Amino acid sequence: MIGVILAGGSGTRFWPMSRRDRPKQLVELWGDAPMIQHALDRLDVVEQDDVPTFVVLGEHLLDVTSRALGSLDDDQFIVEPCPRNTGPAIALAAAYVENRFGDEPFGVFPADHFVGGHDRFRECLALAESRARDGVIVTMGIEPTRPETGYGYIQYENSGDDGLSSYPVSSFKEKPSRRVAERYLDEGGYAWNSGMFVMTPSKLFDEMQRQLPDMADKMREIRGAIGTDEERAVIDEVFSSVQSVSIDYGIMEGADDVEVIPATFEWSDVGHWASIEEVCEPDARGNVSRGDTMLIDTTNSVVYSADTDRFIATIGLDEYVVVDTPDAMLVMPKKRAQDVREVVRRLEERGRDDVL
């Protein structure tokens, strides 16, 4: 199976660690490598042969991502000339996959998510690859553990099987209200949409032809130009004219033969600072800390010193986030973690390019 990593995100919710020129996927949130490196590493355990992984990203992130991932070749990067959401991004990847490797299944993975349990991840993807070879579009679903309103949901026909299975998808649900999310949780038969998909290029192009024929035509034109002298020029011109649409809304919701595999591995989209505890084991007092810190009477908090030797002392914090970087720092209660976007918005408003 060929891996495609979507690395075009700009993720502002990890400011001040994430910045314009170092979005979330390039941040070392855990371990000693950026998130995208973890995403690549976990595909190593999936790929049987020397099939390369593609990384899809915007022009402005190419250099910095290439430097962060020293081991990739230039032709593993698929550069979008402009952002057109996940639909065109994945279609572009499919064009490259088909051009280089023929109609082989490929898996699409966000660069900035956490996956725990690589053996189970491999099992899930092996099943997904097998289903994709049968002409199915497979989505990886995550069993909901809370009435989360920040994710899309996938309703599926749960036949009650235990263990690893692929189920027909009944419908894709947009991010629900709290009340609706609670109902999904109560009723069962819903999975979070993880944004991970496995399919063949031909299946994607068939569905695109049926649902987004204009995009399909343009993507075929691009596919034809890959490997020619015109490759860059055609992509730059044609891709820019393609409709901006998510893969979920543009393809999945109306597609035939869509199945979901409820994941048996651990997963988090690590959406904000308060969710860091889902990927970094908190200490006995519930703290996740990094760097030179002294946490006095501090519990259930995140204290991160990033790329700096500065010493951080905290006294009497509970459920707080403190993040320090060489030129900017942030302090907030965990419950305000979503509002980091507000800091970034105001910084943009004030033209504070120095800390954006």
Site for a copy of itself contains 294 (CB under 8 A)? yes
Site for a copy of itself contains 185 (CB under 8 A)? no
Bridge partners for 261 per DSSP: 140
Among 16, 41, 125, 214, interactor with a copy of itself by CB under 8 A: 16
Among 160, 343, 348, 353, interactor with a copy of itself by CB under 8 A: 343
Site for a copy of itself contains 291 (CB under 8 A)? no
Smallest distance from the beta carbon of 119 to a copy of itself, in angstroms?
A: 40
**Cα–Cα distance, 127 to 44 (Å, whole number):** 17
Nearer to a copy of itself, 178 or 345 (CB): 345
Nearer to a copy of itself, 49 or 309 (CB): 309
Site for a copy of itself contains 320 (CB under 8 A)? yes
CA distances from 211 to 235, 252, 288, 333 (A): 21, 10, 46, 45
Nearer to a copy of itself, 157 or 297 (CB): 297
Alpha helix stretches (DSSP H) within 79-177: 86-101, 118-133
Cβ-based burial of 75 (10 A; exposed 0-12, middle 13-18, buried ≥19) = exposed
Smallest distance from the beta carbon of 274 to a copy of itself, in angstroms?
A: 12
* CB of 114 closer than 8 Å to CB of 267: yes
Site for a copy of itself contains 285 (CB under 8 A)? no
* CB of 46 closer than 8 Å to CB of 125: yes
Site for a copy of itself contains 327 (CB under 8 A)? yes
Q: Which helix (H) or strand (E) holds 231?
A: helix 231-234
* CB of 276 closer than 8 Å to CB of 302: yes
Q: Which helix (H) or strand (E) holds 44?
A: helix 35-44
**Which residues in this chain contact a copy of itself in the complex, by CB under 8 A?**
16, 294, 296-297, 309-317, 320, 322, 324, 326-333, 335-336, 339-340, 342-343, 346-347, 352, 354-355
